[in-house]
Amino acid sequence: MSITSTNELIHVEQEGFVVTVRLNRPEKLNAVTQEMSDELERIAHALNADDTVRAIVYTGTGRAFSAGSDIRTLERYSTPWEFRNRRDYCDALRELRKPVVAAINGYAFGGGLESALTCDIRVAAESATFAAPEIKLGWVGGGGMSVLLAGSIGASNAALMLMTGDPIDAERALAWGLVSEVVPVDEVVARAQQIAQTIAQRPPIAAETAKANLRAAANLPQDQAIAYERELQGITFATEDAAEGRAAFAERRDGVFRGR
């Protein structure tokens, strides 16, 4: 594998076409520093450029997925403008073109919840909890919290979380549609990797296109989103992988997809 981490607080490992990125600061509940954020951005660019990577699992070590930003390090910004213009770990995750599955193994608070929401698919441990606690400290989330939360669980449920800052458990997150599945904590990473391996077996251009289509659906008026989808359908239909898919269907065999 050509992708490695230069920061011991982030682990990167690859199995087949799937890379698992793991925050590794369990004693601080995987709170993210600016240095970790910078490293995640570097890793994201490397993942996008590596054709041996078709899907990604994002998770944490220990009893937390992530408690968000390390609040003690935020005092380093001398002005609100400098704080506003910093590169954020949610920006790094948002730049990933490839499908990302979150394995939410514990606390997903603040920026940790934003990180989970930025991922495409979310699997949670039974013990996981979710919160947008920024309001308790006098500010609001800035990594997409309000728009992603409202899009995931609806305006009223999002308002309840954003305006109280109180946590919800995994079962409520599942009922609200915040996560797709809830599994025992010792199975959460394996289940996320299983989903990622299934995605990695699909034609990679089509998988990345499905992600782009979903983002368009969330951001464009319906007629424009459908028109965009139709254009991307035409592009994917003309790929070698699509031709292979049609041939495999006709010959009743599994397709062999090469990302071309």
pLDDT at 192: 98
Fold for the domain defined by 10-200: 2-enoyl-CoA Hydratase; Chain A, domain 1 (3.90.226)
CATH for the stretch 204-251: 1.10.12
Do 109 and 145 contact (CB within 8 A), yes or no?
A: no
pLDDT at 3: 76
Grouping H, G, I as helix, E, B as strand and the rest as coil, residue 88 is: coil
Lowest mean pLDDT across 82-86, 103-107, 192-196: 82-86
Radius of gyration of the chain (CA): 19
pLDDT at 82: 72
Spell out the domain ranges in the chain: 10-200, 204-251
Where in the sequence numbering do the catalytic residues fall?
Answer: 114, 134
pLDDT at 208: 95
Q: How high is the mean pLDDT of the chain?
A: 92
Q: Which tens digit of pLDDT belongs to each residue from 139-162?
A: 888 888 999 999 999 999 999 999
* pLDDT at residue 184 tops 90: yes
Q: Which tens digit of pLDDT belongs to each residue from 121-141?
A: 999 999 999 999 999 989 888
* pLDDT at residue 84 tops 90: no
Q: How far is CA 58 from CA 64, 115, 155, 213, in A?
A: 12, 9, 26, 21
* pLDDT at residue 1 tops 60: no
Q: Beta strand 18-23 with 10-15: parallel, antiparallel or unpaired?
A: antiparallel
* pLDDT at residue 2 tops 70: no
